[in-house]
């Protein structure tokens, strides 16, 4: 795992957007397709807005999935897809049909999760090998909607699963098998509330959900607040 420390959240967002653009150009040139999945959070929405303004991107070859989503109505402010649409789709020529919202409005959520897994396999292969997955880090060590103590942490035979309630909502999330099969992972970690948990991610501490994500081909982009006093050691 590599770690880069930048000045502030805006610098992190800009660096992440530039890296995604670079990965997209390379993947489309080599394989004619770039498949990524994005998580939620304020800094990632800035990241996607910056990405939308990047010039000469191969938008027609780009596909965007969600890492996780809250079970909430369409357009709800709690929905990651609401913000993804506002920050990326609204400002870029990315074909809307190549952005895949998690179907959390369905009555049968189990069947909906399986349909999303099927779409992942259709676009990214079987098992899915995404070109890039963007992840965040919670103060409690969660990532995606893989939260401490949830049974979803033990799933090894599914790529998309449903969680129990967390912070007032159930979630739909990608699981470890698909996260750990990604060609590249970019962690976006900002804010002083992450300073105590970031070293545990760095050491691959399996006591936190984020520490169980494969560190091969992983890059952490952290701001000074998240890096804390450990900046020089990173």
Return the domain boundaries, the chain: 2-233
Q: Is the pTM of this model over 0.85?
A: yes
Over residues 39-67, the pLDDT tens digits come to 998 999 999 999 999 878 999 999 999 99
| Three-class SS of 181-231 | CCCCEEEEECCHHHCCCHHHHHCCCCCCHHHHCCCCCEEEEEEHHHHHHHH
The residues with which 152 forms a beta bridge, in sequence order, are none
Give the DSSP H/E element, type plus range, for residue 47: helix 42-52
Over residues 69-126, the pLDDT tens digits come to 999 999 888 899 999 999 999 999 999 999 999 999 999 999 999 999 999 999 999 9
- At 65, list the tokens: 């999935």
- Fold topology of 2-233: Rossmann fold (3.40.50)
């Amino acid at each position: 795992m590599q770690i880069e420390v930048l000045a502030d959240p805006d610098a992190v967002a800009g660096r992440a957007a530039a890296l995604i653009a670079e990965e997209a150009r390379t993947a489309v040139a080599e394989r004619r397709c770039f498949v990524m999945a994005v998580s939620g959070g304020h800094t990632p929405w800035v990241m996607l807005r910056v990405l939308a303004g990047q010039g000469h991107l191969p938008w027609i070859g780009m596909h965007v999935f969600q890492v996780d989503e809250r079970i909430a109505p369409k357009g709800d402010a709690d929905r990651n897809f609401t913000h993804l649409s506002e920050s990326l789709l609204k400002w870029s020529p990315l074909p809307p049909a190549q952005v895949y919202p998690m179907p959390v409005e369905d009555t049968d959520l189990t069947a909906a999760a399986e349909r999303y897994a099927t779409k992942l396999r259709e676009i990214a292969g079987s098992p899915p090998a995404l070109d890039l997955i963007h992840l965040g880090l919670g103060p409690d060590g969660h990532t995606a909607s893989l939260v401490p103590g949830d049974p979803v942490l033990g799933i090894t035979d599914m790529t998309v699963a449903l969680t129990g309630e967390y912070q007032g909502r159930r979630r739909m999330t990608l699981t470890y098998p698909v996260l750990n099969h990604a060609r590249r992972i970019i962690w976006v970690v900002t804010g002083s509330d992450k300073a105590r948990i970031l070293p545990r991610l760095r050491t691959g501490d399996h006591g936190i959900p984020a520490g169980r994500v494969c560190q091969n081909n992983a890059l952490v982009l952290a701001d000074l607040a998240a890096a804390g006093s450990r900046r020089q050691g990173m």
